[in-house]
Amino acid sequence: MMLRYLLPLLFAVRGVEPVGQLPYGVGEIDACKIQLNDERNGWLVCVAPPSVHLTHDGGKTWHAISLPVAADGFSPIRSNFRSQRPWIAIESSVFALSPSGEGWENLFSLPIGARAQQIADLALSEDQRFVIAVVQDGTPKAAADIALVSVDSGKTWRSRQIQQGQYRKVAIGTGSFVYLIGLSKVLVSSDWGTSWRLARFAFSSGEREAKVFKEATSRPMRSFFFGSGGWLVYEQGYIFRTDDHGQSWYELARPTQVWPTNTSPASFTIWFLTTDHGYQVGGDGELRESYDGGFTWRPLSLGVEKISDISCVDITTCYAITRSGRLLRVESVAPGLR
């Protein structure tokens, strides 16, 4: 117990310094996401204006690379530039970065039939052999959406019908755990999507709040997994944590405990460096930090700067995008514990 109170002191001394200017500024950077692989190499992916930029000097300079599709069709569903082979998913195709690092190759396409079928979300394992996707079916008389799973890099697929309109996000945890994340439900598989079961949810105020959550139309916004632990954030501000690979979830915080009630968490990002120490960015642009696994959060003083996104490279070093187009390095002096 004493350790939890000591954590803020161990991390209290920090450095926050500007390290570079991004290619875009006010009014443009909010549509961008940053992914740093290490302290030198990273990516900036923007929907508007459509672009992919690369840095090899820790964000001091950036250069643009070609897009895998025409600019007017560049609307990524998901991307992972921290992967051994960076990839990006657009419409029904997944593109991998070419060996030269300047172009793209079509890794595979998903078996989408009717035009009314759309991929809501997908994820690839690190070796890119396992793929999971949620396909929302808007065809007339469709009674269900579809979960697609491939274990051979998209060569063959197996499908499962799932509740229509319910599941919006997918995630890959540690080991063979994978997840379908819905409006008020989570399906969890411990065998790469062969079998599924409903996860359990527990609320700090019991059954009354459980009913409110079930009846809400709040969308899942972000998930993050670390070992057997994980965090799940919903649009209305519910934050949940798991310690058993997502088989059960318990409520951590409410909107009023994390960000002001007059703001939206639409751009919410969450990132944990250890099971105790994490950061999050809400729709109000504030960077907040937790030392107790997400139970409580406190804002970091960054002056007038508002944050758009954050990416961490290890347990002490993160990089944050400001809405004015600057890149900040956020450094914790002591390593995380546990």
CATH value at residue 299: 2.130.10.30
pLDDT tier at 213, thresholds 50, 70, 90: confident
Question: Does one domain contain both 126 and 223?
Answer: no
Q: Could you identify the residue written with the tokens 């204006």?
A: 49
pLDDT for the residue 259:
52
Compute and round to an integer the Cα radius of gyration of the chain: 20
Domain boundary among 198, 228, 260: 198
> What residues make up the domain containing 301?
13-32+218-338
pLDDT tier at 180, thresholds 50, 70, 90: very high
Question: Does one domain contain both 115 and 21?
Answer: no
- CATH at residue 166: 2.130.10.10
pLDDT in tens, 270-305: 888 888 888 888 777 888 888 888 888 888 877 767
pLDDT for the residue 140:
75
Residue 97 lies in a domain: yes
Average pLDDT over residues 196-208: 84
Question: Does one domain contain both 155 and 265?
Answer: no
Residue 5 lies in a domain: no
What lies within 8 Å, CB to CB, of 173 at 6+ separation is 179, 225, 230, 245, 246
Residue 204 lies in a domain: no
Q: 274: which 2 tokens?
A: 């250890």
Residue 325 lies in a domain: yes
pLDDT in tens, 219-275: 888 899 988 999 998 877 778 999 999 999 998 866 555 555 444 545 578 888 888
- The residue that leads in pLDDT, 2 or 156, is 156
Q: What total number of domains does the chain contain?
A: 2
pLDDT in tens, 38-83: 889 999 999 888 999 999 999 999 999 999 999 999 999 999 988 8
Question: Does one domain contain both 274 and 328?
Answer: yes
Question: Does one domain contain both 23 and 73?
Answer: no
pLDDT for the residue 273:
87
Question: Does one domain contain both 225 and 311?
Answer: yes
Rounded Cα distance, 70 and 54, in Å: 19
pLDDT in tens, 82-136: 888 899 999 999 999 998 888 899 999 999 876 678 999 999 999 999 999 999 8
Rounded Cα distance, 132 and 124, in Å: 7
Is 40 in a helix, a strand, or coil?
coil
Residue 21 lies in a domain: yes
Residue 59 lies in a domain: no
